[in-house]
Amino acid sequence: MRSWLMLMLLGLLLLLAACGDDTTEPPTETDGAEPQEEEVEEQEGEPQDGSGGESEGDADVQLLTVEFLNADGDATGTAELTQEDNGVMVTLNVEGLEPGMHGIHFHEEGMCEAPDFESAGGHFNPTGASHGIDNPEGPHAGDLPNIEVADDGTSTDELTAEEVTLQIGEDNSLLKEGGTALVIHASEDDGQTDPSGDSGERVACGVVTAEN
């Protein structure tokens, strides 16, 4: 009888010990965090090149400044070029020129090597027209009205170049590959004679590029 009681007591102790070892792991919660898939999708939709979504048109040039050199290679003023609806406005601020009328043209090469500036090539003429604003088969895209230099050798004339643009990529763009040049001549342009209106030597030159 005593042995049976001891067996019953031993069984009870083992049962209590087994209940005490029931260690259930707590649930792993994410503290209310949302699924990460939506964040990944949002990141994939953002521009990765740092461009901010800018269009190619944002690169168009609306204003630039041309710096003139004279035959000695010295600075002799500027021309401010502004894109307008009807062409390019040319605002001069030059000095050191002979008083009187002078021809002025955009030339086909963006180089101004003194003293003769022949490196600028001929007039900017992408359409193959004849020279001269008064020529029925003209003008060159680079032809401009004459400027008048005052007795003190300065000119602040404003001209409109209706046949050209500052929009990169256009056939008549002054900002074509390699650029163009703006050249002032020694004499007046007669508006008709090929190839340069009998306007004489090149006395000032400035390179026209988007890097000005």
Domain membership of residue 172 (yes or no) is: yes
- What is the tally of structural domains in the chain? 1
pLDDT for the residue numbered 40:
38
Express each pLDDT in 124-179 by its tens digit.
999 999 998 988 888 999 999 999 999 999 999 999 999 999 999 999 999 999 99
Domain membership of residue 156 (yes or no) is: yes
DSSP H helical ranges for the chain: 2-20, 37-45
Q: Say whether pLDDT at 89 is over 90.
A: yes
Would you place residue 4 in the very low, low, confident or very high pLDDT band (cuts 50, 70, 90)? low
| pTM, 2 dp | 0.72
Domain membership of residue 49 (yes or no) is: no
Q: What is the C-alpha to C-alpha distance for residues 62 and 85, in angstroms, rounded to an integer?
A: 11
Domain membership of residue 104 (yes or no) is: yes
Residue range of the domain that includes 173: 72-208
| Tokens 């929009």, residue located | 167
Q: CATH code at 92? A: 2.60.40.200
Domain membership of residue 149 (yes or no) is: yes
Domain membership of residue 183 (yes or no) is: yes
Domain membership of residue 176 (yes or no) is: yes
Q: What is the C-alpha to C-alpha distance for residues 156 and 76, in angstroms, rounded to an integer?
A: 13
Tokens read off for 77: 């003023």
Would you place residue 11 in the very low, low, confident or very high pLDDT band (cuts 50, 70, 90)? low
CB 160 within 8 A of CB 94: no
